Chain A
Amino acid sequence: MFDVLIRGGTVVDGTGAPGVIADIALKDGTIAAMGPNLTGPARTVIDASGRVVAPGFIDPHTHFDVQLLWDGAAKPALEHGITCVVPGNCSLSLAPLKVADRKALVGMFQQIEELPPEAFTEAFEWTWEDYAGYRTALEKDLSINVAPLVRHSVIRLWVMGEASQQRAATAEEIAAMQTLLRQCLDDGAIGLSTSFIDVDENGRPVPSRFAQFEELDALCAILSHYGRMLQVVPEFYDTDLTIARIDQLAELSIRHQIPTTFSPVFDSHLTPHNVARTMARVEEQFARGARVWAQMQTRPIDISFSLRRPSLFFARLPRWVRVLRLPFAERLAALKTPETIDKLVADTDANGGIIAAMMAELRVRGGGEAPAHLVGRTLGEIAAERGESIALALIKVSVEHDLDVAFIAASRGHEDTDRIGPMLAHPLMHIGASDGGAHINSFATYGDTGYLFSEFVRKSGALSLEAAVKKITADPAQIWGLKDRGTLREGFAGDVVVFDAATIGRGVERPSFDMPGEGMRYIRDAIGIEAVLVNGQIAWTKSGYTDARAGQICAMA
């Protein structure tokens, strides 16, 4: 008897081949049979007629290291069709870590991922120091598959302590890091991540940034024994520096015969040649035999701000800048003073009201004090309802809620669908960089896969349905070396997503107070997903999450 029979769907198997109508039978965690009109009893039958049946999506750039300890589904990633996440990117992870170094690492996590303090003090029991202990804690309650990286910074911190953020390593210390990395890989890490840009909560470069090339080279020699991935965050804001890093990665890739990937790659009308130049160098290096995968996100970049902190969003308005840079109490007082308000409002009406018009498109995003009935609405709508000018409404709404109302200027970067589509379709462009689980107070990192289909398959046609599925299933599985995942094939893992190709997308961004300590984060709901199966068990349906806990630490090919 099969465990699950998915009947009558259009099977898009992840290879890029055209979809065909077929049944899929799952048993003991894997795909037991595929084909038309399968017979045989099944405990559960899913009618997928009119729907697409695809491999579960793989998100190769996440920061769920902490969240997975209290939420084994990495919600809401799983309900968006993600069945495998790669946490541990950008040189921070929770292991290996000595007890004495926990405080320092928590600071880095709070800086980069914006997790509330309760996430580290209330949400899980910190029982481990080594990677094996972290893996044990992680595996306890997984309903999503995890392919965790180990981060360079924690390896450095373990071996060098405070000196990890002060100097280059000695030969002995590099040797100790090699030994530690080997142990982590034996204990389940699927590769190494490092960063050339991140800083800790005090603005100091994270430990990996103090490494000289010899250190990275030595660590890649260990990756070489396992054929594992090196992931880096380059100086992505500068094309020339990024190209220099591509060349460096290529040398490491060729010398050690390892895959490498760098993220993120952004497009913007302000830097219109960035992606073309970056990919030209990637193509050159692939032609030399290197594997240097560029990684690009699908979603546009928004600007978010509140009047709690000065934002460069107001950089064109000198009077606004002066007021917003006042200490909080003085700022709040100034924003309640009629004369000041009049002047601030008048400033936005200058130049034919261009700035006021731009402000009218702002949406209330959330923030700690934003009233629910305002969230998602434009400032223009709110101003009209209140009978106020746009700028006055922005000030008044903020003041009425202790300045803790966040506004969003949507799609201010990486936003041109006609440009982004072909970039995503490039055969050497790896779709990822969602940052799932990070920047949780700044923007939602969920729904990038739905957006891929709604924006670049249905709307622009830059990718076919089959090509889009391949980009987020078989491609990442092969790039990272995940064993028996990413493709619908007999004997492969039963990671399956059933979705409606006509509606799959992402919901509107909304605040959710579901983090430890009732901390806030932004999320998006899934649209068009019917069911998500992980290792042969139904993990999510439109009715919600199930009790299945079939997630695994991924085996490597």
Chain B
Amino acid sequence: MSVTGGTVLEALVVAGHDGAAELLVQVRYDNGVVGNTVLSADVGFELMQTAGVESLSELVGRSWLDVIKGVVNV
């Protein structure tokens, strides 16, 4: 079985607690659990850049492990 770290199901802009727009990424992990991750603007943009996408819709279907490789040391 390949380890993908999960698959991105959805990527949306949401209202953050402090009034900033944040990035909500919904991931189905390898064990089947679906969970949400919320990223700040800085991290969100960095993630989009390192993942090589120009719009959020391009994140959908991507490997979560692959997407976050450029942002965190995995």
CB of A447 within 8 Å of the partner chain: no
Query: In the complex, are the beta carbons of A236 and B17 less than 8 A apart?
Result: yes
* Chain B window 1-27, contacts with chain A (Cβ cutoff 8 Å), 1 for yes, 0 for no: 000000000001111111111111000
Residues on the B chain within 8 Å of A305, using CB = 20-21
A516 within 8 A of B: no
* Cβ A315 vs Cβ B14 within 8 A: no
B31 to chain A, nearest CB (A): 13
Residue A412, interface by CB 8 Å:
yes
CA–CA, A413 to B17, complex, Å?
Answer: 9
**How would residues 300 to 320 of chain A score, 1 for a CB under 8 Å from any chain B CB and 0 otherwise?**
011111000111110111100
Report the separation of the CA atoms of residues A311 and B44 in the bound assembly, to the nearest whole angstrom: 10
Of the candidates B19, B44, B54, which one forms a contact with A303 in the assembled complex, judged by CB atoms under 8 Å apart? Answer: B19
Cβ contact within 8 Å between B15 and A312: no
User: Is A318 a contact partner of B21 (Cβ separation < 8 A)?
Assistant: no
Q: Of the listed stretches A115-123, A174-182, A263-271, name the one at the interface; the rest are far from the partner chain.
A: A263-271
Q: Give which listed residue, B13, B48, B55, contacts A313 with CB less than 8 A.
A: B13
**Contact A315 B19, CB 8 Å, known A270-B14, A321-B45, A413-B14:** no
A315 touches B55 (CB 8 A): yes
* Cα–Cα distance between A239 and B36 once the two chains are bound (Å): 9
Q: Which chain A positions have C-beta within 8 A of B14?
A: 268, 270, 412-413
Q: Which of B13, B17, B35 has the most chain A CB atoms inside 10 A of its CB? A: B17
Complex Cα distance, B37 from A409, in Å, reads: 22
Contact for B41 among A301, A311, A413, CB less than 8 A: A311
A443 within 8 A of B: yes
Of the residues A316, A325, A413, contact of B45 by C-beta under 8 Å: A325
CA distance A302 to B15 in the complex (A): 6
Query: Are B19's CB and A304's CB within 8 A?
Result: yes
Within 8 A of A (CB), among B37-52: 37-38, 41, 44-45, 48
Instruction: Tell me if A238 is interfacial: C-beta within 8 Å of chain B.
Output: yes
- Distance of A313 Cα from B45 Cα, bound (Å): 11
Asked if B36 and A315 make an inter-chain contact with CB atoms under 8 angstroms apart, the answer reads no
State whether the Cβ of A442 lies closer than 8 Å to any Cβ in chain B: yes
**Residues of chain A lying within 8 A (CB to CB) of residue B23:** 312, 315
A69-120: which have CB < 8 Å to B? none
Which residues of A in the span 334-378 have a Cβ within 8 Å of any Cβ on B? none
Closest-CB distance, B23 to chain A (whole angstroms): 6
Chain A: minimal CB distance from B67 (Å): 14
Chain B contacts of A513 at CB under 8 A? none
Least CB separation from B10: chain A residue: A270
Interface status of A418 (Cβ within 8 A of chain B): no
Q: In the complex the two chains form, is A315's CB within 8 Å of B18's CB?
A: no
Of all chain B residues, the one with the shortest Cβ separation from A312 is B21
14 A-B pairs within 8 Å (CB atoms) are namely: A237-B38, A268-B14, A270-B12, A270-B24, A304-B20, A310-B41, A312-B23, A313-B13, A315-B21, A315-B48, A315-B56, A412-B15, A414-B15, A443-B18
Please report the C-alpha to C-alpha distance between residue A315 and residue B39 in the assembled complex, in whole angstroms: 13
Given contacts A237-B36, A268-B14, are A301 and B44 in contact (CB under 8 A)? Answer: no
Q: Which residues of A contact B44 (CB under 8 A)?
A: 312, 315
Docked pose: A266 CA to B38 CA in angstroms: 13
Please pick, from B13, B17, B24, B55, the residue contacting A318 in the complex, using a CB distance under 8 A: B55
A439 within 8 A of B: yes
- Chain B proximity of A321: nearest CB distance (Å): 7
Q: Which residues of A contact B15 (CB under 8 A)?
A: 268, 301-303, 409, 412-414
Q: Which A residues between 258 and 293 are near B, CB-CB below 8 angstroms?
A: 264, 266, 268, 270-271
Decide: A318 and B54 in contact? CB cutoff 8 A.
Answer: yes
Chain A 436-463 interface mask (CB, 8 Å, partner B; 1/0): 0001001100000000000000000000
Is A240's beta carbon under 8 Å from chain B? yes
Tell me which residues across on chain A come within 8 A of B24, comparing CB atoms: 270
Task: Name the CB-closest residue of B to A114.
Answer: B18
Give which listed residue, B19, B36, B45, B56, contacts A301 with CB less than 8 A.
B19
Report whether A315 and B13 are in contact in the complex, using a CB–CB cutoff of 8 Å. Answer: yes
A303/B36 in contact, CB under 8 A: no
Known A238-B35, A270-B12: A312·B19 in contact at CB below 8 Å: no
Nearest 7 CB-CB pairings of A with B? A318-B54, A413-B15, A442-B19, A312-B21, A412-B15, A237-B38, A301-B15
Using Cβ atoms and an 8 Å threshold, which residues of chain A touch B19?
301-304, 439, 442-443
Chain B nearest CB, measured from A299 CB (Å): 11
Interface centre among A237, A325, A414 (most CB of B within 10 A): A237
Residues of A within 8 Å of B18, CB to CB, are 439, 442-443
Of B14, B22, B36, B41, the most chain A CB neighbours within 10 A belong to B14
> Within the complex, what minimum Cβ distance (angstroms) separates A264 from chain B?
7
Q: Is the CB of A312 within 8 A of B22?
A: yes
Distance to closest chain A CB from B34 (angstroms): 11
Give CA–CA (A240, B34) in the complex, Å: 11
Name the B residues within 8 Å of A240 (CB-CB): 35
Chain B residues contacting A271 (CB-CB under 8 Å) are 36
4 additional A-B residue pairs with CB within 8 Å, beyond A301-B15, A315-B23, A443-B18 = A312-B21, A313-B21, A315-B55, A442-B20
Question: Is B13 in contact with A312, judged by CB distance below 8 angstroms?
Answer: yes
User: Are B56 and A316 in contact, CB atoms less than 8 angstroms apart?
Assistant: yes
Contacts of B20 in A (CB 8 A): 303-305, 311-312, 442
A266 to B37, CA, bound (A): 15
A169 to B16 CA separation, bound complex (whole angstroms): 32
